[in-house]
Amino acid sequence: MLTIYQSLGGRVQAALGRAFPKDTYSSKESGYILDPQLVSASKPEFGDFQINGALQLTKILKKPPRDIANAIVEELIRDETFLEICELPEIAGPGFINITLKPQCLIRELQERINDNRLGVPSIKYALEGQSNPPVIIDFSSPNIAKEMHVGHLRSTIIGDCLARVFEFRGHQVLRLNHVGDWGTQFGMLITHLKQVAPEALSTVNAINLGDLVKFYREAKQLFDEDKNFQRNSREEVVKLQNGDPLSLKAWRLLCNQSREEFQKIYDRLHIHLNERGESFYNPYLKEVIESLNESGLLVIDDGAKCVFLEGILGKDGLPLPVIVQKRDGGFNYATTDLAAIRYRFNNSPKGDGACRLIYVTDAGQANHFAGVFQIAERANWIPKGARVEHVPFGLVQGEDGKKLKTRSGETVRLRDLLDEAINRAEADLRRRLSDEGRIETEEFIAHVSTTVGIAAIKYADLSQNRVSNYQFSFDRMLSLQGNTAPYLLYALVRIAGLARKGGNLNAAVNELLFIEAQEWELIRELLKFDEVIVNLEEELLPNRLCNYLFELSQTFNRFYDQVPILKANEPYRNCRLVLCRLTADTLKQGMTLLGIPTLERM
């Protein structure tokens, strides 16, 4: 209902202006634009929209809220166009105005959706400083080389993918970046250890696999912490790597390539597409960061290190907190790399991406780090006018005991093990249902449904939570056919597909849409909310809002399906109801596609 809302908003604003011209209230407030606070209705009994501003306007207009509401309503009913789409407004309580759309208005909107593969969601393009449709960059996933992806990477990966899908659907050029940890001291440790215990890895293709690399990493870290000679050799190896030593570079590429292959297996299972651009990519630009900060007057030498002191952010000593951008020994750190990345990503030249918006999807523990980095970039004037840089934080994945999710041995849960467990549980549940129902299906069918349901359940369970909060992981809850789960949404689609298998023509042409049941109108109103949900998601970056909408749509459809005859209905109602079923299926499929979740016809 986005188009209706926008049109209605202009008419309500105009009615408020006519009811209370500027010269009728305090000159002190004369420059103030009165806000009628038009919003979608919070409950069906309040209509489709509400005007909630009367209470707040009392202080400015010096009138009782119901008098203000009455004045607005009087102006609205003088507007013939308003009355063409809305019933007479009703005033409730201390001055709330409830607005209900006329049936013919809803049917016009519904008719437009029937032949619109975007389901009413507008496509949009930005222009920034003369450049058409500059990219939106979404930085997500970001595992570390030589380490396996664990459950902590799940949230960043699927939240980032969902946001990328939404921006792409809206018409933005999206650059999906995987800022992998592929540089730094840890590679000195790994290369040194590889040369000592597995020199054949540098001369033999595929001599090691990621499992070995993880073990190597742990061994190398222990040696680095305990052996002074190993520690010295590791630091020397870092210098060799930074200076382009051929053997060191070969070892580094081997580690990166083998990690990349294992990461890709996870991404393929999750249907995730990413462009890898690791920390090493920005190495040539680190010195430029220092030079630019120095030219802007932000750089301060403190105890031999080059720093930028943050404004409004204090350390434990009560003094402005410094961000070190170059260490005393001349080395750089994560903050320097992140600053170089921001500078490159906003740079509108061949040496940059020319982005209009940067979105970083990482755990909430990095919030302070990004707040500091973003402030420095802003003060250094690296962020173009009108551009945005945002941190999208997320909480922890916890076990059902409320503690950080770990294995029984106390280790972090590997992501591939989590996915395997979900699929195995989905398969066991499916085989149990097939046995109870006396159904016989092929092994291929069972494998496909189990994989789809298992992966969908994990993704949806995560995305349906407010990303800012921690959430408790429960296989039983996420695989349930009841409640706000992926299987529940998938089952609604299966029911619609079942209508087609029973002879219902979901694509039948209908000359005139006719509806007589309350459940039909309830479903129509829910379907028409999709555009607003997607546009708001682009701004708020909260995937759970889309999940909540899809769940409510599924609930509304199931009530309609259970209470209103469809295939047994007489014409023209039969085909009109099948139209609602098709639009519901299209909306659920599109919504789940934006979540990165595949759908099923049978399960």
**Helix%, strand%, coil% for the chain, nearest 5:** 55, 10, 30
Burial 160-191, CB ≥16 within 10 A → b, else e: bbbbbbbbebbebbbbbbbbbbbbbebbbbbb
Distance (Å, whole) CA 288 – CA 293:
8
Confidence of residue 347 (pLDDT cuts 50, 70, 90): very high
In this structure, are strands 388-394 and 96-99 parallel, antiparallel, or unpaired?
A: unpaired
What pLDDT is recorded for position 137? 98
Burial 468-489, CB ≥16 within 10 A → b, else e: eeebbbebeebbbeeebbbbbb
Residues forming beta bridges with residue 391, ordered by sequence position: 360
Distance (Å, whole) CA 452 – CA 354:
38
Nearest CA among 437, 600, 577, 586 for reference residue 514: 577
Region 545-561: mean pLDDT is 97
Cβ–Cβ < 8 Å for 406, 413: yes
Of 145-154, 421-430, 542-551, 582-591, the range with the lowest mean pLDDT is 145-154
What pLDDT is recorded for position 206? 63
480-603 fold: Isoleucyl-tRNA Synthetase; Domain 1 (1.10.730)
The 10s digit of each residue's pLDDT in 494-550 is 999 999 999 999 998 888 999 999 999 999 999 999 999 999 999 999 999 999 999
Confidence of residue 2 (pLDDT cuts 50, 70, 90): confident
Measured between its terminal Cα atoms, the distance across the chain in Å is 33
Cβ–Cβ < 8 Å for 489, 548: no
Distance of CA 594 to the CA centre of its chain: 9
- Average pLDDT value for the chain: 90
Region 78-89: mean pLDDT is 92
Region 166-182: mean pLDDT is 95
Cβ–Cβ < 8 Å for 85, 101: yes
Confidence of residue 581 (pLDDT cuts 50, 70, 90): very high
What pLDDT is recorded for position 153? 87
Region 24-35: mean pLDDT is 64
Tell whether the model's pLDDT for residue 83 goes beyond 70.
yes
User: Which architecture does CATH list for 2-101?
Assistant: 2-Layer Sandwich (3.30)
417: tokens are: 């093990």
Cβ–Cβ < 8 Å for 557, 523: yes
Give the percent of the chain with pLDDT over 70.
95
Instruction: Write down the pTM of the prediction.
Output: 0.91
Neighbouring residues of 316: CB distance < 8 A, sequence distance ≥ 6? none
The 10s digit of each residue's pLDDT in 285-340 is 999 999 999 999 999 998 899 999 999 888 788 888 899 999 888 888 889 999 99
Distance (Å, whole) CA 227 – CA 234:
11
596: tokens are: 């990165």
Q: Kindly report the length of the chain.
A: 603
Region 103-118: mean pLDDT is 93
What pLDDT is recorded for position 59? 85
Region 75-95: mean pLDDT is 92
What pLDDT is recorded for position 479? 92
Distance (Å, whole) CA 154 – CA 324:
30
Task: Specify the domain boundaries for CATH 1.10.730.10 within the chain.
Answer: 480-603
**Location of structure tokens 């399906």:** 561
Cβ–Cβ < 8 Å for 439, 432: no
Q: Which of helix, strand or coil describes residue 372?
A: helix
Region 461-479: mean pLDDT is 91
What pLDDT is recorded for position 409? 63
Cβ–Cβ < 8 Å for 530, 120: yes
Count CB-CB contacts under 10 A for residue 99.
23
Can the peptide bond before residue 565 be classed as cis, meaning omega within 30 degrees of 0? no
Tell whether the model's pLDDT for residue 27 goes beyond 70.
no
**Orientation of helix 210-226 relative to helix 185-197, angle to 10°:** 100
**Location of structure tokens 């058409």:** 132
Going from the C-alpha of 205 to that of each of 209, 250, 251, 387, the distances in angstroms are: 11, 12, 12, 45
For 140-247, strand residue ranges (E) read 174-178
The 10s digit of each residue's pLDDT in 239-251 is 888 788 888 888 8
Tell whether the model's pLDDT for residue 29 goes beyond 80.
no
Tell whether the model's pLDDT for residue 255 goes beyond 80.
yes
Region 395-422: mean pLDDT is 82
Tell whether the model's pLDDT for residue 129 goes beyond 60.
no
What pLDDT is recorded for position 131? 57
Task: Specify the domain boundaries for CATH 3.30.1360.70 within the chain.
Answer: 2-101
The 10s digit of each residue's pLDDT in 188-199 is 998 998 888 878
